[in-house]
Structure 1
Amino acid sequence: MKRILTPGHTLLSRLPMTVKLMVVAGIFLIPLALLLSLFVHARLGQIDFSRQELIGSTVTQPMRQLADAFSAHRASALGSATTGGALQTAAATVDAALSDTAKALSTWSRGTPVNLKLHALRQDWETLRESVATLSATEVRQRHDNLIAQTLALLTQISDLSNLTLDPEVETYYLMDAIVFRLPVLAEQVARLQLDGALVDRVAPARDALLVDAALAARQINNIEANLNKAFAADATIGDALSRPLASLIASLHTLQERTRTAREQEIVTASIRERLQAESLIALDAVRAMERAVMPELERLLQARIAHHQRLLIIALCVVLFALLLVAYFFFALRSGVVQSVQILRHSLARILDGRLDDSIKVEGADELAAIGRDLDRMQTGLRDRLRAEHAAAAANLRVRNALDEASIALMIADAEGIIIYANKAVMAMMQQAEASLRQALPNFSANTIVGSNFDAFHRNPGHQRNLLAQITRTYHAHIKVAELSFRLSATPLHDASGKRIGTVLEWLNRTDEIAAESELTAIVAEAAAGNFRQRMSLEGKTGFHLQVGKGINELIAAAENGLREANGVLSAIAEGDLTRTIGGDYQGAFGELKTYTNQTVDALTRMIGGIVDAANTVNTAAQEISRGNLNLSQRTEQQASSLEETASSMEELTSTVRQNADNAQTARTMAVDASDVAGRGAQTVQQMVTTMDEIHLAARKIVDIIGVIDGIAFQTNILALNAAVEAARAGEQGRGFAVVAGEVRNLAQRSAAAAREIKTLISNSVDKVEHGSALASETGRVITNLVGAVKQVAEVVSDISAASLEQRAGIEQVGMAITQMDAMTQQNAALVEEANAAAASLEEQAVALSQSVRRFRIAGTDTRLSHRALPTTSAAPQRAPRRTTRALPPVTAADDDWNDF
């Protein structure tokens, strides 16, 4: 890389800085000018391209009007117009359109080829206009079609020459496609459809042509819609401007297609159908032209916007290039001035540094290499200046720190890495001088005045071990040292330099001799108090400050605990002796106050409880006496109840037997009633079937009567026909004699048939009357049997209710009997329980006396604990009952009776 740059470096090193910069700028400007010229040429070409498109869109407008004029003239020539004057008007319109087209082409530099073809088109038109009256309809249409085709071809050629066909953008391309190719062709197809609609009844192929024209128009409108939707997607403003006319065009063409399909499907196309078809065709043509009028402004707007955009970009590019050139020139001269100025500042600053003057700042503006050199020189000068100031400040700070350490109340020493004490403040020197005599007992060679300069392991009996221990610490190390009767707490903190190297140790001394003595005394007193001995007190002799306050507080605490516990012990001992009149009366706070409150509350609660027990014992004694008297009366009533229950049980046994027999008889009657109800039901069903059969016979007889009536009518009609035949035969004379004989026979047969029918009808009528009478009797019988069935069912239900009631009555009587039996058994148990209750009452009275004796030992203020004794009646045993007779075995006692034994 160095070899490659050597020639350039050699060349530029011979030139001054200004010339170097000019050479570099000139080499840079050459390709820039070339690129700028290419860019300007390309932009001007794009502007000219778009301008030609805009001119082409303007020229296509009279060309499209020319195609519409040819189409209108064709319609007039073929007779779809109203009068011949319309043909002359249409011809004048064509001439005007040709003039407008020629005028537009004359101003266009690229319009020469189109002008030549337009001249040929004008000659063909003049030939057609002169001979249109002598041509047939087919020739007129063909020549007009040829003129329109030439016009559309010229429209395409204009599009090619004006670059419209090569439009590079989506939105303008599809608008061009619609205005140049699609819409003119669609207008021609709609015009053809209008002509074919007018000739649909006069020319045979017109029906098929209608379908073809409609299909082509539908295809064309689909293509237009698809292409314009792409333009809408590319630019929403186009959709806002063209959506409504496009929708109107699609709707009108859809309606026209429906009219065309209807006209083609009709066998005879009426004048009204043709008129509607012509009207829809005109509406569709107007929609096409409205669409053209809407598309053309949008296309011109977009082309003008594109031209303005390219012009704007060209102007911006030229302005940017011009601004860049001015900026390059400006920065070139600024760079030259800045470089020269920076070099001069650097040379001046180096000269001042060499002279030892470091008070001036070096300021080189910018961020280039020269400015970086200036900043480096300034930092170097600042570093030298700061280093000198730091050394002076460090010396002053060290002096302040030393003075602060000397005046500190904490005893501090500083040792170097070898353990040599290099500093000791006044506090540690005073402490060592005060304890010097005691220290010499363990360290005979100790001297407080020689601490600085000696090794700190001189304070230990094993200096080597202590030196190794302190040399290995990495954080603050705490140790407790005991020398003779003295106790010290030593804290050693290692010191390191910026690189982490050990440079010394800070030693903090604290004399804890008095503190440890106070702790020992306090520990002993607390241990005695924990063991229950509150007679020990801390000695306050020789104590000052914190130790004196702690001693007084401990002594007060022990005294308060001793007094509170002594008074509580007195109350508890009195309670143990049965004296509930003593309480704690001292004034206590905190836990002892709570102890006083709870103890006095306990005494009050015991007092209330003993008083309650005394009252309860008296109440129990009285209740026991009353229970004993009540049990005696209960025993007598129980004996009377047992006799009554025995008589009731005998009566219930007889009643149960009678009710059981009634229930059995009711059940038998119920069974017989149910059977009778079933038989009556079956009889009712049979009678109902008979009634149905009689109704069917009655209907059949009536149908037979109707049939006989028909036969009678037929015989009557036959008789009339035979009579008519005889009359006709008589009129015929000799030729109808044979026919008259036959007619007479037929008449005789008809009369006999009528007589037989009347007899059968009479018999059937009598039979129908009898059937009706039998049916009425059967219906009446059915109703009677139905009522009988209902009555039998009611009887069965009543008997069933009686049977159910008898069963329930039997069950109830049996339950009453069982209940009386159980009552008898319970009465016997009650008698036994009464005797047990007498014994329990006597035992309760004895227990009440014993309870009274138990609480008599307690002494309560204002209460007599003696039990009141009243004369109790002599409790006699319950009288024995004579054994009673039983007429039936008693049921066993159920499990529920066992509950009485636990009373």
Structure 2
Amino acid sequence: MKTDTRFRIGRKLMLISLFFLIPDSLMLYLVITRLNADIGSARLEVHGNRYQRPLERLLALIPEHHALSTVPNADAGALKRVTAEIDRTFVDLSAIDAELGGRLDFTAEGLAKRGRGHANAAALATSWRELVSDPGPIDGHRELIGAVRTMITHAGDQSNLILDPELDTYYLMDVTLLALPQTQDRLAAILARWHGATPAELTASERAQLHVDVALLREADLARVLASANACLQEDAGFHGTSPSLQERLPPMLAEYRARTRDFIDLAAGIASSPSPVDAARFVAAGSRARAASFALWEVASQELDVLLNARISHLWWVRFFSLMAAAVTVVAAIAIVTFITRSITLPLARQAAKLATANRELTAEIAERSRVEAQLRHAQKM
């Protein structure tokens, strides 16, 4: 009876506790599910950033190959070295595509659905081999660069980089995924018209085109890169603490990019406004320095984007860990409290029941004894 009572009381208290734990468990499930999704999204962004690295090298090397293969009397050794470097980069791209291509939807179906069927590692490598074996009359270099840009866009879309939810990484993503590839491509297109040119006066249409190029470089490229990079530096402290490496490494590279690009823009603007013959070699050298500075900035910015994304992943991992630990402590505490309350109720009841049982036995014995004595007295009176 005592055990049954304790069991019933304990069971009722446990059921009450479970009743309150059910909504808490549901909330915990939703929180953990969301944290897991955020961790997965951040890891996918890291994958997208990794996938872009060989594409950026191609964006740097293909215009160099174009210049060396089209300029008369170009350095044959330099052309051979650039060709070999591009071949190695395609090997790296193939390896990263085998590892991450499926996760980033670089599949025939995923690319075709978005009208990007030509923008895959295998097709790009095939086009490169065909270009090297037979350059032909069509500029295959521009087609290759266009495919590389499309692959960068696809990697950004499918890795969620383009949808980054935190301001510091969002602005840095804008630099690495959008603004710098755009200015690198634009600089390559501008310089391609000048490689191997001799000093000459520009036609009216060429001056107009150069004015447009200068305006786009100044407003769409340089101003955007500077604004986004500075916004990233300013917002850094508000998300998972200040990143020392970001604050140390990005500003000097940004200053170098700004200086080299402004030098080129000023030179191009002067040429566009002057009737004097153009020193093509000086123009190409300034543009090449600006382009090199943009790739140096991209390399540092890309590495620091990984640092920020990994800091976010670490933060989310610890939030998830402490959430689970807090939930476990809550369950253990609930069980301990139920056990304590059950014992605080049942033990006094058990002691009282024991006292009552003892008193009942004593009373029963006393009644029996009185009955026996009364019976003896009645028997004696009859005699």
Q: TM-score, normalised by structure 1?
A: 0.34
State yes or no: 1:303 paired with 2:300.
no
Q: Which residue of 1 aligns with 2:253?
A: 245
Q: Which residue of 1 aligns with 2:71?
A: 79
State yes or no: 1:152 paired with 2:149.
yes
Q: Which of the numbers 171, 177, 187 marks the counterpart of 1:180?
A: 177
1:16–1:96 distance in 2 versus 1, CA, 3 Å = closer
1:128–1:200 distance in 2 versus 1, CA, 3 Å = same
Q: Which residue of 1 aligns with 2:294?
A: 288
State yes or no: 1:122 paired with 2:128.
no
Q: Which of the numbers 243, 254, 271 marks the counterpart of 1:263?
A: 271
Alignment of 1:271-286 (within 5 A): 273-286=279-292
1:325–1:116 distance in 2 versus 1, CA, 3 Å = farther
Q: Is the 8 A contact 2:149 2:181 kept in 1?
A: yes
Distance 2:274 2:325 in 1: 73
Distance 2:93 2:73 in 1: 26
Q: Which residue of 1 aligns with 2:378?
A: none
Give the 3-state SS of the residue equivalent to 1:107 in structure 2.
helix
State yes or no: 1:89 paired with 2:90.
no
1:162 maps to amino acid: S
Q: Is the 8 A contact 2:60 2:295 kept in 1?
A: no
Q: Which residue of 2 aligns with 1:329?
A: 335
Q: Which residue of 2 aligns with 1:557?
A: none
Q: Which residue of 2 aligns with 1:731?
A: none
Task: Report the alpha carbon displacement of residue 217 of structure 1 after superposing the two structures with TM.
Answer: 1.4
Task: Report the alpha carbon displacement of residue 341 of structure 1 after superposing the two structures with TM.
Answer: 5.4
Equivalenced residues, count = 328
Task: Report the alpha carbon displacement of residue 335 of structure 1 after superposing the two structures with TM.
Answer: 1.7
Q: Is the 8 A contact 1:69 1:97 kept in 2?
A: no
Distance 1:58 1:159 in 2: 11
CA shift digits 1:199-238 (9 cap, x unpaired): 3746745444333322221121111112222222211544
1:168–1:73 distance in 2 versus 1, CA, 3 Å = same
Task: Report the alpha carbon displacement of residue 14 of structure 1 after superposing the two structures with TM.
Answer: 12
Give the 3-state SS of the residue equivalent to 1:117 in structure 2.
coil
Q: Which residue of 2 aligns with 1:112?
A: 107
Distance 1:328 1:80 in 2: 83
Q: Which residue of 2 aligns with 1:630?
A: none
Distance 1:87 1:124 in 2: 18
Distance 1:153 1:26 in 2: 54
Distance 1:130 1:100 in 2: 21
Give the 3-state SS of the residue equivalent to 1:165 in structure 2.
helix
Q: Is the 8 A contact 1:167 1:173 kept in 2?
A: yes
1:81–1:334 distance in 2 versus 1, CA, 3 Å = farther
Q: Which residue of 2 aligns with 1:131?
A: 134
Q: Which of the numbers 43, 56, 74 marks the counterpart of 2:48?
A: 56
Alignment of 1:214-253 (within 5 A): 214-219=214-219, 220-236=221-237, 237=243, 238-253=246-261
1:126 maps to amino acid: R
Task: Report the alpha carbon displacement of residue 302 of structure 1 after superposing the two structures with TM.
Answer: 0.9
Distance 1:116 1:212 in 2: 30
Distance 2:72 2:41 in 1: 44
Alignment of 1:638-677 (within 5 A): none
1:81–1:102 distance in 2 versus 1, CA, 3 Å = farther
Q: Is the 8 A contact 1:193 1:214 kept in 2?
A: no
Task: Report the alpha carbon displacement of residue 81 of structure 1 after superposing the two structures with TM.
Answer: 7.8
**Which structure dedicates a bigger proportion of its chain to helix?**
2
1:59 maps to amino acid: Y
Distance 2:118 2:98 in 1: 11
Distance 1:154 1:90 in 2: 21
CA shift digits 1:448-469 (9 cap, x unpaired): xxxxxxxxxxxxxxxxxxxxxx
Q: Is the 8 A contact 2:153 2:177 kept in 1?
A: yes
Alignment of 1:295-374 (within 5 A): 295-340=301-346
Distance 1:78 1:178 in 2: 31
Distance 2:49 2:198 in 1: 37
Q: Which of the numbers 163, 168, 176 marks the counterpart of 2:165?
A: 168
1:25 maps to amino acid: S
Give the 3-state SS of the residue equivalent to 1:235 in structure 2.
helix
CA shift digits 1:822-865 (9 cap, x unpaired): xxxxxxxxxxxxxxxxxxxxxxxxxxxxxxxxxxxxxxxxxxxx
Distance 1:300 1:320 in 2: 30
Q: Which residue of 2 aligns with 1:39?
A: 31
State yes or no: 1:30 paired with 2:22.
yes
CA shift digits 1:487-526 (9 cap, x unpaired): xxxxxxxxxxxxxxxxxxxxxxxxxxxxxxxxxxxxxxxx
Q: TM-score, normalised by structure 2?
A: 0.77
State yes or no: 1:213 paired with 2:213.
yes
Give the 3-state SS of the residue equivalent to 1:82 in structure 2.
coil
1:335 maps to amino acid: I
Alignment of 1:608-647 (within 5 A): none
Distance 1:127 1:210 in 2: 32
Alignment of 1:375-774 (within 5 A): none
**Which structure dedicates a bigger proportion of its chain to strand?**
1
Distance 1:232 1:80 in 2: 45
Distance 1:81 1:277 in 2: 19
In structure 2, runs of 5+ residues without a counterpart are: 112-116, 238-242, 354-383
CA shift digits 1:328-349 (9 cap, x unpaired): 11111112223345678999xx
Distance 1:80 1:216 in 2: 30
Distance 1:324 1:318 in 2: 10
State yes or no: 1:18 paired with 2:10.
yes
Give the 3-state SS of the residue equivalent to 2:163 in structure 1.
coil
Distance 2:6 2:292 in 1: 84
Distance 1:232 1:268 in 2: 42
Distance 1:301 1:92 in 2: 31
Give the 3-state SS of the residue equivalent to 1:168 in structure 2.
coil
Q: Is the 8 A contact 2:119 2:150 kept in 1?
A: no
Q: Is the 8 A contact 1:190 1:281 kept in 2?
A: yes
1:213 maps to amino acid: D
Task: Report the alpha carbon displacement of residue 124 of structure 1 after superposing the two structures with TM.
Answer: 2.6
Q: Which residue of 1 aligns with 2:357?
A: none
Q: Is the 8 A contact 1:259 1:276 kept in 2?
A: no
1:337–1:230 distance in 2 versus 1, CA, 3 Å = same
Task: Report the alpha carbon displacement of residue 56 of structure 1 after superposing the two structures with TM.
Answer: 1.0
